[in-house]
Structure 1
Amino acid sequence: MLAGKPKLAYLPILVACNLGLALPVMAQEQTLQGEDAQVEVINVRGIKGSLIRSMDIKRGSANVVDAISAEDIGKFPDQNVAESLQRITGVSIDREGGEGQLVTVRGMGPEFNAVLLNGRMLATVGDPSSMSWEGTPGGRAFSFDILPTELINGAEVYKTQSGELQEGAIGATINITTMRPFDNKGFQAVASAKALYDEMTGKTKPQLSGVISNTFDDDKFGVLVSLASYQRESRYEEANTAYYFKVTDDLDGQNYGEIYFPRNYDQIVQSEDRERLSGTFVAQYAPTDNLTMTLDYMHSTYDVTGRQDIYPSWFTPGNVRNPVLDENNTLIYADFVDVYVESMARQSDASSSLDAYGFNAEWQATENWRMELDISASKAESDPGKGWSDVVVGRPGTFSYDRQQGQQVPTMTFDQLRPGDTLTAGWTSLQGTKLEDEVFGTKLDNRLYVEAGPLVEVKFGAHYSDRTLNKVYGETEGPLSWIYADNSVRVPLPDSLFDLFDADGFLSGASGSPVNQWPTFNTDEIMAYLSRDEVIALLDDPEAAKAVFSRNGFGIVPDQSAYEVNEEVLALYADFKLEGELGDMPWGLVAGMRYVDTQSTSSGQQIALLDLQPSQNEPNKVFAVYSDDYVPVEISNSYQDWLPSLNANINFTETLVGRGAISRSMTRPELNEMSPLTSYGDGQIDGLSGSGSNPLLAPYTSENLDLSLEWYYEEGSYAALAYFSKDIDGYLGTSVLPETLNLPSGSYKYEISRPVNENSTKVDGYEFAVQHMFTTLPEPFDGLGVIFNLTKVDSKSSEDNLPLIGLGDSQNLILFYEKDGFQLRLAYNNRSRFLQTKPVTTGSRQRDGHYVDDFAQLDISGSYDINENFTVFFEGINLTNELTVKSAEYANQTLQVIETGPRYALGVRAKF
């Protein structure tokens, strides 16, 4: 077992699973619910054929499930799994560096969706390329960019619940399936090579993949090996204002009331080299017709080397002259005096990996009884290497900020560098987060076919999982980060350390007049120079600085207050399938129940508050006495959930199908919200406060309703309209809660700020989809087809009038043509403006929520079959160079404008 020992209460199910190993069992299904799934499969060995088959499955299924599938072995319709998922009705994605990464379903963000690999929980570590002071997040949201599309067979999005379906998703459960030798028996060999061109860098990089599969001994034994190599040299450009905060400070000696004040303006050019090497190994054995066993392994390593060249400008109200505000009291012009004109650079070399193992066995015990045992483990790791550097240099000066014309990029005017002016050292540090996520799981499932009136099938079983997240953040020891910037005389840096960075048309796709040149440098060289004895001697207290250098220098010092969260889950379920006729209308119904027992333990260490001592000079004031060393902290929590579900369908006519589903679902709190650590401050006795996470958080729960009507009017063509509603309780907010601490000197009342389950939210919306094939048109136009879908969503919260994070409308339009070995697909996706972060109050300052503006992307792909063995293909992503734009409460409060540019690929594929 990867993560911890099982609790005694779980031993019976583990024993049952281990006994099941002795039973012959049969081959694993590639979907979670087999023939009961409603699957809308896209592109299975030809566009039109796959859509017709998917429509037939959709028409006769019980659950609501949409899916994407490879066109053929090792051939996916998009460059990225997440990019393909966004074509499904109700699915939206978040991008990083222009690539799809995180998935939102029906307005529910990535943390509300569960991602499985072949029906198994999958470990995750997030984005390895993140250069953020928060480090790599430790949560449940799965980052799809670690998985290559060439190794994926398909992905299913389950929008409704059942007893058998693994719990944990209020939004949707996404099951990724990989290729297996028994899927295509006999010898199969596929290889592809393509050149990927990134317009922002002007560089072309290779992508290679291959799959070899064969079965032996009359198809009783099979082996599949696959490998995929990915390289990309990318660049994105960003104009960044971290946030607008509300202040009442005087500006240039005058008070304007409450104003919106930008914290900063930075120009960022990020360059990256991304390399991913992935592979799978699968062995299957079927000694009898009733028995199949599968052993599989997947590995993926993702290395990202990057740097950011930044021209930063920091704004403070006290340095403002000649301010201009708009009608919303937003600062749109100011001269800033007595400031530093700075340059900044960040460098990183991060790596992440994923290993997933699995054993599956299925046995047709009798004609009417089928059993399945599945055991799996996965481990994801993210290593920041030496960490990402954060180095600032600067000189005294002045600058002006101008956004009066409403442009996306403000005009910045800087004073001229005077003779004798020298760049000096400022903030200098290394930071990084090491993250490990380990998951062990086992399942024992049963299916009984019965004849008891309308009851035709019973499914029942038990699932167990054990998951542990370890997160360690580290950074340069405190004094060194700011000691050079705070020196009484700033330390000068030689000109030889600097070059002139040329942004070469910075954010050419945006409006405005950005700066295109500024000083740049290598952060390693700056740190090496600042570590010299003769430079340290220039500091106010060189001996104290030498003591710090002797310990770790600028290296990363792990935070001793690291923590880990262990979570064990036992689930029992049963599903009952009924069928019949109402008059001459056939109907089907699946009623299920899932019981879930969750037990978590959060452990870590922190500096402890030992006592409070009264001040000798100030009445009612106390000072904290803390422990010299870190002390262990451990807090456990448990909760149980009953999750009923009902899925029903009826055929009103031969072409008209109605569906309805009701269920209760749950999502557990983010693992990084469950730290056991709390900080306690000192001060006035009647105003003691502190802050911390909350390992006693309860899960979110949702009452769900789904209704749909589907009209199958021609072969390969249909229209569908669906309504959904989710009533969610337990949504997280931040509250200040009273706590009493009993210390040696007495009892003290504290006000502690923590995340708590305090809000309720209702999400409802509808989906419309149409698929039409123009088969009645004369040749060659009979190869045309169109897919269109849209999702409209809305939410209401008990907390405020803000929408739910990630909630937004989306639309897809796909035009395709397929005939005589030629395929062409033009895909348009639009995601409407949505809230990304809620308002935040920090001390006396407040900022509004942050929004992502409308984003529309146009992609194209096509291929031509030269013969039965060789195909040439091309791909184009973001053809119109759509910009990602983020804003605050008002549209002109632009926070980020990001340009990632188009990408193009040309390749050849061979199959034997």
Structure 2
Amino acid sequence: MSASILAALSFSGAAFAQDAVPADDDATDLDAIVVVGIRGSLEKSLDTKREAATHVEAVSAEDIGKLPAKNVADALQQLPGVNISSSSASEGGFDEADRVSLRGTNPSLTQTLVNGHNVGTGDWFVLSQVANVGRSVSYSLFPAEIVDQVVVHKSSEAKLVEGGSAGSVDIITRKPLQYADPLTISGSVGAVHSDLAGESDPQVSALLNWKNDADNLGVLVQAFYQKRHLRRDGQEVVGGYGQIGRDPATTPVLATNPDLAGVLYPNLLGAVLFEQERERKGGVIDVQFRPNDNLELGLSGFYSKLEADNYNRNYMMWTSQFANSRAPEPGYVIKNGVLTHAVYPAVNDPNNVVPYGVYDMISRPDASSESKYLTLNADWKATDNLEFSFQAGTTKGNGRSETQDVLETGIAPNGGASWSMHGIDNAIDWNLGGNNTASTHRPDFGWIFGGQGIDVLDKEDWFAVDGSLFRTDGILASLDFGLRYAEHERSNDYEIAQGPNWATDWTNIANYPTTGGRYPGDFGNGLGGHFPGGIWYYTPEQLAQINADFANRNYPERFYFSDVYGVEEKNAAAYIQANFDGDGWSGNVGLRYVRTDSDISYTQALPIGSGVPGAITGSAFGDYLPVSESNDYSKLLPSANVKFDLRDDLILRFAASRTMTRPDYSALAGSLSLDDLTHTGSGGNPKLDPLLSTNLDGSIEWYFAPRALLAFSVFHMDLKDYITFGNQTIQYKDQQASQDAGMDVYSDYLVSVPVNTDGTLKGYEITYQQPIGEWFGVSANYTFADGETDDGKPLNGASRNTYNLSAYFENDRFSARVAYTFREAFYAGVSRTDAFYQDDFGTLSASFGWKINDAMSLSLDGLNLNDPTYSYYTESAVGVLPYAMYSNGRQYYLNFRFNY
């Protein structure tokens, strides 16, 4: 894990885990175990799983500290049935896990909670802010410093907050009264080195915990600061695959090469260099006060901000410029309808200025994301058998792209082009002839683009009351009940999409700098293949000046209404749950009622000068009409869990539940474009129904030795109203007909929108964990998940096969752990209308620790030691085609921890 995690855990959990004991008998089960080292933390996690009333997985702070990982998601990937991804939209894979999903489902179907409540989140990548806006949480904002334990709920209970059809992840933070000593001071100082970026950066964390002698008042303060540089080398087929025309009258190349008719070719084939500087900083404050034995009050606050300045350059072959008009040299290869190998000669005509290439340079100096929350808690023991918990809180997340400095240029003169494809697991060999210098770039064959002023809000205010009525006889052990009310908002209110300022001489290359930077000399070494290197680029500072001189960011002319949206939800819930405890068995049965009232705001694009009443004019992107829709629904979510203690070491579980996930924000509030003449269009779908999943889960767990487990579980999810993309007939207001009739006229439109469908997901999990002798241990798990929609389309995020292998060594002085994770290919969504998949990948990580003395320790951790390549591909009528490949290099963390 990252030094951050190690650092964090060093001070907050790892270094003091053996001192963290419950303050009294009312402390949670998670704090009731003394944790010492890897073995102790594994025992704690297994005990949590074993004693739980439902099917859960758990990882403790010491687990996170000894597993190589940078954040909570990195640690969770070692659990059975848990999948992680390092991207949330179509930005491609990075070196740090960012999203968590369960059992091969979309990350939006996994609910992430902190201490049982929702948390506002933000995304630093612009497409996650305004295009593919889901309901998942960015784990890059949650360093391990804040963690006591993470519990993954695979089966549901009525008292769990709704939202996770596949399950939920609850991040449980430390509390000040769980520490044994009156004063605890701990911290860590370290560094991270990224070998591809060639940079080393600091990692610092600190914790102070104080409690009074009466053990009824405690204050915990944590702070963290982690910086690191990231470099990613990539290859992308940004424009997908174009097709050579079939009509000789409009396709000149067919006159000499008729066999090229209808053949596919890679368009906008690029060499991509992405560099980023990430700074994650923030902290936690937690106050506990027990004025008497019957009352406990708490205040908890959290803040995390990720500053994520980045610069992306993509130097591309612009194949569509010449594929229809010029013939490749003899020897080209057509395979399954795809031009897989071709060489195009240089164009020597000085009057021919059509570029064979195009170059995008995109600098985002102000990209960031942040998350924060503040909660007030009160636990009141009203009588010996009646208890209440009250919680009120607010949480807010933001994702910002305040500035994008962008320039696109054509690449001339035309020195020829070539490519050779070798399947989806290998980089495409390609070349673009000519000189790559500032003087050969053509702004007049490019553009100035990029959204400005984006600030996406994700906010929730809530209040909840939970009660428990305990019985002392009979099989009914207790009755849980409660109410919750929340108001949630996700919105983006403003965006300027810059363009060229035509009042300036922006197309004249003489007005641009003649110097800049160059791609690193080792660019692309981790990808294999042969493609352009040593590519020239403008520096971020030069780009900023170019945009300042030549870009048009005027409002309202450049107001980009298509990315403006808002979803406001009022969510009310009530539940009742009966908990049973018999001879050798236990269980619960419950019912949760959920009411959601949604107000959805989006824009409908109109032709300029449409004259539609209420239309807003002045945008270069057309007139538009703000539209508001409501989408209200109520759902009943029953659940039942039963646990049989067949022997002291053998447990059998069964669970059945109905769970719900609300539609993604971008699916509800996507900008709408309608053609009143043809009655067709595209956009979001504010009338989407929530996904309802009927879940069955069964498991058998054999705890055959201390810290040992052999388990097998099966699961089945019947997905009703799963959200996919398709065509649907929906009634909209016909603006033209309404204007002509002088009254509102509604017509049926065939629109391409997110739609509800049904599907299924089923599979099984196998888990094995065992110590070997006094110092060694191994663990392994495997998950099989098979799912599809009723029309045979894949489920987003469903990997059929996932497995994890790890081994550890630990004695009184030294510790070591190595872990390998594999995930099979899965459908990853849509990018620029193309369905794409992420191919198989595996990651190898290791951690080493040396206990200097009781107060000091050293750790060395390595991530992505196998330097994995993340490959993506698309599916078409002719088969699978390579889409993108990325290499992030390796990361090493050295960390010194201390405690007092």
Find 1:113's aligned residue among 99, 110, 114: 110
The correspondence for 1:301, drawn from 301, 305, 320, is 305
Q: Distance in 1 between matches of 2:599 and 2:438?
A: 60
Structure-to-structure mapping, 1:520-539, within 5 angstroms: 520-522=537-539, 525=542, 528=545
| 2:395 paired residue number | 378
CA distance in 1, matches of 2:843, 2:553: 52
Equivalent position to 1:784, from 776, 784, 794: 776
Q: 1:898: which partner in 2?
A: 886
The answer as to whether partners of 1:125 and 1:139 remain within 8 angstroms in 2 is: no
Q: CA RMSD in A?
A: 3.4
Q: Find 1:391's aligned residue among 408, 427, 434.
A: 408
**How far did residue 363 of structure 1 move?**
1.1
TM-score normalized with structure 1 length: 0.85
Instruction: Kindly provide the amino acid, as one letter, of the partner of residue 513 in structure 1.
Output: H
2:3 corresponds to which residue? none
Q: Give the corresponding residue for 2:871.
A: 885
Match of 1:672 in 2: 666
Greater shift in the superposed pair: 89-98 or 226-235: 89-98
Cα displacement (A) at 1:354: 1.7
Distance, in Å, in 1 between the alignment partners of 2:428 and 2:167 is 40
In structure 1, what is the equivalent of residue 9 of structure 2? none
Whether the 8 Å contact between 1:386 and 1:556 is mirrored in structure 2 is no
2:453 is the alignment partner of 1:428: no
1:170 is paired with a residue whose SS is coil
Q: CA deviation at 1:792?
A: 0.6
Q: Deviations over 1:739-791 (max 9, x none)?
A: 3635142457452415354311110000000111123xxxxxx2000111010
Matched letter for residue 175 of structure 1: D
Is 1:650 matched with 2:650?
no
CA deviation profile, 1:843-893 (whole Å, cap 9, x unmatched): xxxx5x311111111100121111110111111001111111112238872
1:159 maps onto 2:154 in alignment: yes
What pairs with 1:537-548 in structure 2 (closer than 5 Å)? none
Question: Would the alpha carbon gap of residues 631 and 241 (structure 1) be closer, same or farther in structure 2, given more than 3 Å must change?
Answer: closer
Q: Which segment drifts farther, 737-746 or 784-793? A: 737-746
Instruction: Say whether the 8 Å CA contact 2:578–2:589 is kept in structure 1.
Output: yes
Aligned match for 2:860, one of 874, 881, 886: 874
Specify whether residues 136 and 154 from structure 1 end up closer, same or farther in structure 2 by C-alpha distance, changes over 3 A only: farther
Give the direction of change, closer, same or farther, for the CA distance of 1:28–1:632 in structure 2 (3 Å limit).
Answer: farther
User: What one-letter code is carried by the residue in structure 1 that aligns with 2:359?
Assistant: S
Amino acid at match of 1:727: D
Distance change >3 Å, CA 457–CA 635, structure 1 → 2: same
Q: Which amino acid aligns with 2:896?
A: V
Q: How does 1:388-787 map to 2 (within 5 A)?
A: 388-406=405-423, 408-417=426-435, 422-425=440-443, 426-432=446-452, 433-451=454-472, 453-472=474-493, 474-478=495-499, 480=501, 491-493=508-510, 496-499=513-516, 501-522=518-539, 525=542, 528=545, 551=554, 557=559, 559=561, 562-581=564-583, 586-604=584-602, 628=617, 632-675=626-669, 677-683=671-677, 687-732=678-723, 733-739=725-731, 741=734, 743-746=738-741, 749-775=747-773, 782-787=774-779
Partners in 1 of 2:293 and 2:869 — Cα distance?
A: 55
Does the CA-based 8 Å contact 1:635-1:676 persist in structure 2? no
* Contact map agreement 1:284 1:293 (CA 8 A) in 2: yes
Match of residue 381 from structure 2: 364
Q: Return the offset for 1:111.
A: 0.8
Contact map agreement 1:332 1:401 (CA 8 A) in 2: no
The 1:526–1:627 alpha-carbon spacing in structure 2 relative to 1, beyond 3 Å, is closer
What residue identity is the alignment partner of 1:593? L
Structure 1 unmatched ranges of 5 or more: 1-25, 537-547, 614-622, 776-781, 842-846
What SS is found at the alignment partner of 2:160?
coil
* Secondary structure in 1 matching 2:382: strand
Change (3 A) 1:464 1:45: farther
Moved more, 379-388 or 367-376: 379-388
Q: CA deviation at 1:719?
A: 0.2
Other structure's SS at 1:509 match: coil
Offset from partner CA, 1:217-244 (integer Å, 9 cap, x none): 4111111111000000121111111264
**Gap change, CA 1:243 and 1:593, over 3 Å in 2:** farther
Counterpart AA for 2:768: V
CA separation in 2, counterparts of 1:238 and 1:512?
A: 12
Q: In 1, distance between residues paired with 2:66 and 2:484?
A: 33
Counterpart contact for 1:320–1:334, Cα < 8 Å? no
Give SS of 2:416's match.
Answer: strand
What is the deviation of 1:44? 4.3
Conservation of the 8 A alpha-carbon contact between 2:861 and 2:894: yes
Q: Does the residue aligned with 2:427 lie in a helix, a strand or coil?
A: coil
Pick closer, same or farther for the CA change 1:374–1:481 going to 2, 3 Å. farther
Change (3 A) 1:675 1:873: same
Cα distance per residue 1:401-445 (max 9 Å; x no partner) = 322555823233333349996432121123243201111111100
Consecutive unaligned residues in structure 2, runs of 5 or more: 1-21, 87-92, 348-353, 619-623
Mapped to 1, the partners of 2:560 and 2:753 lie a distance apart of 25
Query: Residue 390 of structure 1 contacts residue 429 of structure 1 at CA under 8 Å; is this kept in 2?
Result: yes
Give the deviation of 1:495 after TM superposition: 7.1
Distance 2:466 2:746 in 1: 53
Partner of 1:101: 98
The TM-score normalised by the length of structure 2 is 0.86
For the residue of structure 2 that corresponds to 1:800, the secondary structure is: coil
* 2:480 aligned partner, one-letter code: K
One-letter identity of the residue aligned with 1:773: P
Pairwise CA distance, 1:706? 0.4
Encode CA deviations 1:55-80: one digit per residue, 9 max, x unaligned: 33433332011121111998876322
Q: Greater relative contact order: 1 or 2 (C-alpha under 8 angstroms, separation 6 or more)?
A: 2
The amino acid of 2:474's aligned partner reads G
**What amino acid sits opposite 1:789 in the alignment?**
N
**Is the 1:71–1:77 Cα contact (8 Å) retained in structure 2?**
no
* 1:551 Cα offset (Å): 4.2
- Alpha carbons of 1:191 and 1:759: their partners in 2 closer, same or farther (altered >3 Å)? same
Shift in alpha-carbon separation, 1:30–1:750, aligned structure 2, 3 A: farther
Give the whole-Å Cα distance in 2 for the aligned partners of 1:87 and 1:72. 10
Correspondence for 2:232: 236
Deviates more, 1:84-93 or 1:444-453: 444-453
Q: 1:276 to 1:611 in 2, by over 3 A?
A: closer
Distance of aligned partners of 1:523 and 1:906 in 2 relative to their CA distance in 1, 3 Å threshold: closer
Q: % of aligned pairs identical?
A: 25
How far apart, in 1, do the equivalents of 2:126 and 2:670 lie? 26
Structure 2 counterpart SS, 1:318: coil
Question: What is the rounded CA distance, in whole Å, between the counterparts of 1:268 and 1:366 in structure 2?
Answer: 65
Equivalent positions of 1:209-224 (< 5 A) are 209-224=205-220
Provide the C-alpha distance between the structure 2 equivalents of 1:30 and 1:312, rounded to a whole number of angstroms: 63
Are the aligned partners of 1:633 and 1:677 in contact in 2 as well (CA < 8 Å)?
no
Q: What letter matches 2:589 in structure 1?
A: A
CA apart distance, 1:348: 0.8
CA–CA separation in structure 1 for the residues paired with 2:560 and 2:277: 27
Sort the Cα spacing of 1:636 and 1:357 in 2 relative to 1 into closer, same or farther, 3 A.
Answer: same
- The 1:30–1:65 alpha-carbon spacing in structure 2 relative to 1, beyond 3 Å, is farther
Pairing 1:201–2:197 present: yes
Q: Which moved more, 1:345-354 or 1:804-813?
A: 804-813
Q: CA deviation at 1:823?
A: 1.4
Q: State the distance in 1 between where 2:437 and 2:823 align.
A: 51
